[in-house]
């Protein structure tokens, strides 16, 4: 009943928290902290880690219980019927009683090492829980940024499609007045059709990213705050890879999990070895028994006699010494098994240590290069935009073709997508570096949350597949240009036939 009531209270509080967050954010788009609060309550991976920790910490009181007095009691009440053929004799009586026993371990090395093993197991469980908490921060931020990046890609594809559509209309107009070839229309149309397909793909990617975020939050989200323009870029501090590696060696939570697992394995060796050692316990017992008066019948005349009530009690106290002599080789086998498990745990710990040190080196370098990469992206966008305007002017002047303009458009929006992806990668790598160092906390999300803005928010409640308009300007241009193209093809075929005859 208590467990049910506790579960009911916890579930009610969960619903209240979710409702409070949703009501608070209903008037405006949700930010990263709002989403994180929903994730804390609703993410099932973190919920499983919480339950796993709660189960694991019970190992310590279970191991400690061996060192407390062990008490037991039993009672009996029974009716007895006794019949002897030789006399013959028939007897009927009732007896009842109870027994109380107590014991206290005085020396038990196996139980002693079991307590040490349980303490290490609890430390391991706490470290695993802390790892899951940091992982929740990283996963929530990654899912949030995945939605924003997918939305950025969709917006950029749509903007690129609109610009190409404008170029297609201009190519049609130039073709109508005879200053451009039909090939320009076909090239622009091919680029436009490709972007229509890319828009569908980008929209599907946004839907997928949104579903990934909702898997963590457990509730639908209507809108999100976007990342601000000109994201502030800060290099990792301290500006030293060895300093980050040293800090990670001391505080990385995954390393701590494996370190405690190694301690657990080492204590298991001691516990297995202790099975050879004697154990000492103080024991005591008290027994009370009473036999009520009964009836006895004897002889052919069935003479009945009444018996007297009898009572008795027994008390005992002593020291019990248990000395293991031989268990068929099981103790030695268990010891060898524990030693092999310890070697495995130590190898895993050393492997993880090397991987963490390599990850710290790589992530630090990635964050540092990400700062330079984003700065280069901004300059590249400016350069690509200048190149596009130059190509458009040259195309109007007739010194460049529409292919040059389409390539410049593609390069510009490719640079925009790279810039968007690099910004989100920079933020995620910053969180990952702190996670590797073991000092990732909610304060890091608060810092990133300052980079989100309430203007131009991302609406997620109306994500649908785009409807294709097959009667748009591009299709009309193609239909208008088709007769001209057929005429050119006919003339080209005629010229080819004449050339073949002459040859």
Please provide the DSSP assignment of 47-95 as one string. Answer: HHHHHHHHHHTTHHHHHHGGGS-EEEEEEEEEEEEEEETTTTEEEEEEE
Cα torsion 391, 396, 402, 407 to 10°: value is 20
What was the pLDDT predicted at 497?
A: 42
Domain that residue 132 falls in: 2-68+108-277+324-468
Is there a single domain that holds both residue 314 and residue 227? no
Interatomic CA distance for residues 114 and 116, integer angstroms:
5
Q: Are residues 127 and 205 in the same domain?
A: yes
Looking at the chain, the whole-number percentage of residues with pLDDT higher than 90 is 67
10 and 92, same domain (yes or no): no
Q: Is 499 part of a structural domain of the chain? A: no
pLDDT digits (tens, 9 = 90+) for 337-396: 999 999 999 999 999 999 999 999 999 999 999 999 999 999 999 999 999 999 999 998
Structure pTM? Answer: 0.79
437-481 confidence digits (pLDDT tens): 999 999 999 999 999 988 778 887 665 444 444 334 334 433 444
In this structure, the answer to whether residues 122 and 193 fall within a common structural domain is: yes
Based on the domain organization, do 125 and 73 belong to the same domain?
Answer: no
Whether residue 432 is contained in a domain is answered as yes
pLDDT value of residue 4: 35
Report the DSSP pairing between strands 310-322 and 452-459: unpaired
For the chain, the domain total comes to 2
Same domain for 256 and 332: yes
pLDDT digit string (tens) for 161-211? Answer: 999 999 999 999 989 988 889 999 999 999 999 999 999 999 999 999 999
The residue among 323, 354, 377 that closes a domain is 323
**Shared-domain flag, residues 129 and 95:** no
The verdict on 433 and 409 lying in the same domain is yes
Q: Does any domain span residue 476? A: no
Residues 39 and 156 in one domain: yes
């Amino acid at each position: 009943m208590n467990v049910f009531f506790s579960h009911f209270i916890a579930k009610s509080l969960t619903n209240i928290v979710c409702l409070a967050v949703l009501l608070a954010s209903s008037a405006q788009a949700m930010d990263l902290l709002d989403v994180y609060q929903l994730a804390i309550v609703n993410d099932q991976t973190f919920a499983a880690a919480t339950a796993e920790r709660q189960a694991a910490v019970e190992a310590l009181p279970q191991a400690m219980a061996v060192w407390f007095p062990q008490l037991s009691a039993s009672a009996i009440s029974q009716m007895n019927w006794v019949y002897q053929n030789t006399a013959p004799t028939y007897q009927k009586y009732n007896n009842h009683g109870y027994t109380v026993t107590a014991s206290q371990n005085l020396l038990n090395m196996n139980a002693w090492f079991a307590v040490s093993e349980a303490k290490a197991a609890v430390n391991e469980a706490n470290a695993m829980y802390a790892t899951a908490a940091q992982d929740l921060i990283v996963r929530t931020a990654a899912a949030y940024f995945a939605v924003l990046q997918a939305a950025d890609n969709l917006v950029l594809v749509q903007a690129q499609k609109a610009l190409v559509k404008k170029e297609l209309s201009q190519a049609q107009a130039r073709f109508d007045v005879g200053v451009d070839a039909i090939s320009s229309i076909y090239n622009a149309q091919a680029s436009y059709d490709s972007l229509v397909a890319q828009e569908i793909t980008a929209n599907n990617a946004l839907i997928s990213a949104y579903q990934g975020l909702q898997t963590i939050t457990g509730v639908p989200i209507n809108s999100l705050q976007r990342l601000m323009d000109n994201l502030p870029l800060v290099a990792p501090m301290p500006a030293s890879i060895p300093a980050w590696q040293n800090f990670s060696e001391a505080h990385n939570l995954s390393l701590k999990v494996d370190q405690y697992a190694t301690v657990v394995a080492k204590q298991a060796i001691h516990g297995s070895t202790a099975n050879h050692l004697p154990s000492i316990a103080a024991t005591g017992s008290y027994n009370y028994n009473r036999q009520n008066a009964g009836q006895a019948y004897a002889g052919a005349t069935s003479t009945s006699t009444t018996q007297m009530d009898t009572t008795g009690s027994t008390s005992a106290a002593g020291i019990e010494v248990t000395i293991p002599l031989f268990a068929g080789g099981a103790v030695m086998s268990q010891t060898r098994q524990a030693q092999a498990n310890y070697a495995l745990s130590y190898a895993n710990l050393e492997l993880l240590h090397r991987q963490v040190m390599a990850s710290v080196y790589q992530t630090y370098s990635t964050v540092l290069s990400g700062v330079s990469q984003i700065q280069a992206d901004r300059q590249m966008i400016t350069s690509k935009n200048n190149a596009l305007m130059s190509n458009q002017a040259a195309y109007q002047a007739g010194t460049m073709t529409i292919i040059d303009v389409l390539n410049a458009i593609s390069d510009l929006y490719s640079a925009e997508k790279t810039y968007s992806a690099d910004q989100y990668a920079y933020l995620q790598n910053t969180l990952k570096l702190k996670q590797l160092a073991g000092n990732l906390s909610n304060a890091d999300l608060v810092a990133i949350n300052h980079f989100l803005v309430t203007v131009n928010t991302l609406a997620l409640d109306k994500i649908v597949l785009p409807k294709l308009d097959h009667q748009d300007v591009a299709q009309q241009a193609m239909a208008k240009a088709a007769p001209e193209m057929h005429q050119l093809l006919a003339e080209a075929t005629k010229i080819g036939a004449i050339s073949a005859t002459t040859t």
